[in-house]
């Protein structure tokens, strides 16, 4: 048999080559390489186990969920070469599903958030309904059902690509309702919703060839003076890493980086001592 390609992913920054959290590594000239998520599963498929079996009270909140804490949201930006293609600043307001319905227009992108969970994205198609990718299937549901009690917000402006006309966005979403499993071309709900709005192949699985240099950079902004940069070969890979950070939160990301950097420095010191031993 030919060579087998293993699943490439990671659980924490201890498995990722990184640099100083200030974005500076005294022994390197630039940011470090991130991880390719080839063959990884849809990262928000494991959320909302009871989504397909709505409770009698459709707006009942899952009490195991922690309320969304905007203070633990990590500010970040994605660059393709020198162009910023995505930017999230902290402090964006969130709303209940009922309030969100009065603000939406067909073609809007929605993001539902809860602490400790992957953000869930959907396309608003009108009549209080959204189309979204969930548990390896593209579905058409009422906005209030999809929210599952989470706070939501309109996120049209996060990606800086030019949007398609609203009727095209809606048609892109509705045309794929019912697609599932091997018929899917998107890794997660965010990639699907963004593709519907912008129509760019980079949001699809395998939309870019992972060869050569890493043209994408994910910049994590911890404060005005502290940042960290990772490089990736595809937009798909950057989104997977960004969503992982969204799920674990700012504090956990900072702790992972601190732990990894301490471990890296200890290894360098041990290697130095071994080399200089008589």
pLDDT tens string 16-65: 444 443 443 444 445 555 555 544 555 565 544 445 544 434 444 444 56
Is the pLDDT reported for residue 15 higher than 80?
A: no
Please give the full DSSP string across 201-222, using - where no structure is assigned: GGGSTT-S---SS--EEEEEES
The values of phi and psi at residue 225, to 5°, are -110, -10
Residue-range domains of the chain with CATH: 70-262 (3.90.1720.10)
Task: Say if strands 137-142 and 129-134 run parallel, antiparallel, or are unpaired.
Answer: antiparallel
pLDDT at 135: 96
- pLDDT tens per residue across span 86-110: 999 988 899 999 999 999 999 999 9
**pLDDT score recorded for residue 228:** 93
pLDDT at 270: 53
Residues 6+ apart with CB under 8 A from 271: none
Do residues 261 and 269 make contact, with C-beta atoms less than 8 angstroms apart?
A: no
Round to whole Å and give the CA distance between 41 and 143: 25
Burial class for 228, CB neighbours closer than 10 Å (0-12, 13-18, 19+): buried
Place of tokens 């969204």: 246
User: How many angstroms from the chain centroid is the CA of residue 263?
Assistant: 27
Q: What is the pLDDT of residues 268-277, one digit of tens each?
A: 555 444 444 4
> What confidence score (pLDDT) does residue 66 get?
76
β partners of residue 150 = none
For the ranges 23-27, 164-168, 178-182, the lowest mean pLDDT is seen at 23-27
Does 139 have pLDDT greater than 80?
yes
pLDDT at 70: 87
Identify which has the larger pLDDT, 135 or 10: 135
* Model confidence at 123: pLDDT above 90: yes
Give pLDDT, residue 58.
43
pTM (2 decimals)? 0.79
Q: Locate tokens 């990639």: which residue?
A: 191
Query: How much of the chain exceeds pLDDT 90, in percent?
Result: 62
């Amino acid at each position: 048999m030919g060579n087998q390609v293993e699943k490439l992913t990671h659980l924490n920054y201890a498995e990722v080559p990184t640099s100083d959290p200030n974005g500076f590594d005294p022994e390197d000239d630039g940011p470090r390489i991130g991880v390719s998520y080839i063959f990884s599963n849809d990262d928000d498929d494991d959320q909302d186990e009871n989504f397909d079996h709505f409770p009698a009270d459709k707006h009942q909140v899952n009490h195991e969920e922690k309320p969304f804490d905007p203070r633990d949201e990590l500010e970040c930006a994605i660059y393709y070469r020198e162009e910023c293609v995505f930017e999230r600043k902290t402090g964006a307001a969130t709303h209940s599903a009922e309030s969100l319905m009065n603000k939406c227009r067909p073609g809007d992108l929605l993001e539902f958030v809860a602490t400790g969970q992957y953000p869930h994205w959907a396309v608003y198609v009108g009549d209080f309904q959204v189309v979204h990718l969930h548990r390896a299937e593209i579905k058409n549901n009422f906005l209030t059902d999809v929210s599952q009690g989470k706070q939501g917000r309109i996120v049209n402006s996060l990606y800086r690509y030019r949007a398609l006309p609203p009727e095209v966005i809606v048609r892109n979403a509705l045309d794929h309702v019912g697609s599932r499993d091997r018929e899917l071309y998107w890794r997660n709900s965010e990639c699907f919703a963004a593709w519907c709005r912008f129509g760019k192949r980079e949001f699809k699985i395998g939309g870019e060839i992972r060869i050569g240099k890493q043209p994408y950079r994910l910049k994590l902004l911890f404060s005005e003076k502290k940042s960290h940069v990772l490089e990736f070969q595809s937009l798909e890979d950057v989104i997977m890493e960004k969503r992982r950070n969204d799920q674990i939160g700012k504090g956990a990301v900072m702790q992972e980086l601190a732990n990894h950097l301490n471990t890296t420095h200890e290894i360098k010191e041990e290697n130095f001592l071994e080399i200089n031993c008589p």
